[in-house]
Chain A
Amino acid sequence: AQSVTQLDSQVPVFEEAPVELRCNYSSSVSVYLFWYVQYPNQGLQLLLKYLSGSTLVKGINGFEAEFNKSQTSFHLRKPSVHISDTAEYFCAVSDIGGAQKLVFGQGTRLTINP
Chain B
Amino acid sequence: DSGVTQTPKHLITATGQRVTLRCSPRSGDLSVYWYQQSLDQGLQFLIQYYNGEERAKGNILERFSAQQFPDLHSELNLSSLELGDSALYFCASSVGAGSYNEQFFGPGTRLTVL
Contacts and interface: CB of A to CB of B under 8 A. Distances in A.
Interface of A: 32, 36, 41-46, 49, 51, 90, 94-95, 99-107
B48 A42 contact: no
B90 A94 contact: no
Interface string B98-113: 1110111111100000
B44 interface: yes
A101 B94 CA distance: 13
Contacts of A103: 45
A20 B100 CA distance: 24
B43 A107 contact: yes
A89 B42 CA distance: 12
Given A43-B105, A46-B103, A101 B42 contact: no
Contacts, number: 54
Nearest to B55: A100
A46 B107 contact: no
B48 A43 contact: no
Nearest to A95: B99
Interface string B26-50: 0000000100000000111100100
B104 to A, nearest CB: 8
B97 A100 contact: yes
A105 to B, nearest CB: 8
Contacts of A45: 2, 105
Contacts of A49: 100, 102
Interface string B3-46: 01000000000000000000000000000010000000011110
B84 interface: no
B90 A101 contact: no
A103 B58 CA distance: 9
A19 B61 CA distance: 38
Contact of B4 (A43, A94, A99, A101): A43
B102 A42 contact: no
A98 to B, nearest CB: 9
